[in-house]
């Protein structure tokens, strides 16, 4: 049997009735520290209060996640969960740490999974809750370009500092040459409502029309919505763009894998293009 300790981070809905909702779980089995969280329950609060609470909860969860990593890399002396991750206990502002509860179990991992399910907490809910913005995709593409430039064979054909100019200028995060210059253009529709997707597509259309010389190809890197209900709308918006811009653009969509954006299709496309010219 393993002794596990856990405590809950809760949002106080009413100090009078004592009503609370759970937003995070810390779990310690003397060797492994686990964290689960979800801010879905904040829907019970007024909109004005939700975001401030979300920021405070993210702060707590991030610090717990850092501790998880730290403990996995450098084991700590076990004198209890309260020592592994000290928190300010007690009833004060809207966030409340429950007292540490200790139980014995045959399988700590399964115990954590069960608690997580009971409490409706998803380990990566906070991370997945954040929308993948154009700025993030831009950074990831730019980082990918810098990484590819480390390969000697690829270096002459890949750039991260190219500027395209027609009526207006635009610096793509990543460019590569295959007879014509190709430039990645992030187009994130993740977390957007249909009208916002429409706007994002219009912006992308304007960008290609105004900044890209006809001989150069804008390779759109669309991030489709993770919400299954909006996926169809996203695909439809892309089809409209493809129809309007024809051969001036290409579309290479990255994939969602375990909550993360995998840029493998872009890498494959660049390698194929470069192989073709060299």
Q: Is 135 in the site for another protein (CB under 8 A)?
A: no
* Residue linked to tokens 């004005």: 48
Distances (CA, A) of 227 to 37, 58, 116, 243, 256: 20, 22, 22, 25, 12
CB of 46 vs another protein, minimal distance in Å = 7
Helix (H, G, I), strand (E, B) or coil at 158: strand
CB of 71 vs another protein, minimal distance in Å = 20
Q: Is 46 in the site for another protein (CB under 8 A)?
A: yes
CB-based contact 158:176 (threshold 8 Å): yes
Which range, of 54-62, 109-117, 161-169, 171-179, touches another protein by CB under 8 A? 54-62
- Sign (positive or negative) of CA dihedral 129, 258, 269, 136: positive
CB of 256 vs another protein, minimal distance in Å = 26
CB of 258 vs another protein, minimal distance in Å = 26
Q: Is 58 in the site for another protein (CB under 8 A)?
A: yes
Q: Is 90 in the site for another protein (CB under 8 A)?
A: yes
Distances (CA, A) of 176 to 15, 31, 140, 155, 162: 59, 47, 16, 10, 9
Among 49, 134, 136, smallest CA distance to 93 is for 49
Among 16, 77, 106, 258, binds another protein (CB under 8 A): 16
Q: Is 99 in the site for another protein (CB under 8 A)?
A: no
Binding site for another protein (CB under 8 A): 12, 14-16, 18, 45-46, 48-49, 51-53, 55-56, 58-59, 88-96
């Amino acid at each position: 049997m393993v002794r596990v300790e856990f405590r809950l981070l809760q949002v106080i809905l009413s100090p009078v009735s004592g009503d609370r909702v759970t937003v995070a779980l810390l779990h310690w089995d003397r060797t492994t520290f686990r964290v689960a969280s979800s801010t879905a329950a904040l829907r019970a609060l007024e909109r004005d209060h939700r975001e401030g609470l979300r920021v405070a909860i993210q702060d707590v969860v991030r610090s717990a996640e850092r501790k998880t990593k730290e403990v996995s890399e450098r084991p700590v002396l076990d004198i209890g969960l309260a020592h592994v991750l000290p928190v300010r206990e007690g009833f004060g502002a809207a966030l409340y740490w429950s007292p540490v509860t200790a139980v014995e179990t045959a399988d700590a991992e399964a115990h954590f999974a069960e608690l997580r399910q009971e409490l409706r907490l998803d380990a990566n809910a906070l991370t997945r809750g954040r929308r993948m913005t154009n700025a993030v995709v831009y950074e990831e593409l730019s980082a990918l370009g810098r990484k590819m430039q480390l390969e000697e064979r690829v270096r002459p054909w890949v750039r991260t500092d190219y500027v395209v100019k027609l009526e207006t200028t635009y610096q793509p995060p990543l460019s590569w040459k295959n007879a014509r210059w190709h430039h990645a253009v992030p187009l994130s529709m993740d977390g957007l409502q249909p009208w916002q997707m429409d706007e994002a597509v219009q912006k992308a259309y304007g960008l290609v029309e105004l900044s890209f010389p006809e001989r150069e190809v804008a390779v759109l890197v669309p991030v489709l919505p993770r919400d299954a209900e909006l996926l169809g709308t996203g695909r439809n918006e892309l089809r409209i763009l493809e129809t309007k811009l024809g051969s001036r653009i290409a579309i290479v969509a990255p994939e969602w894998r375990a909550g993360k954006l995998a840029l493998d299709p872009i890498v494959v496309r660049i390698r194929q293009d470069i192989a073709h010219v060299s």
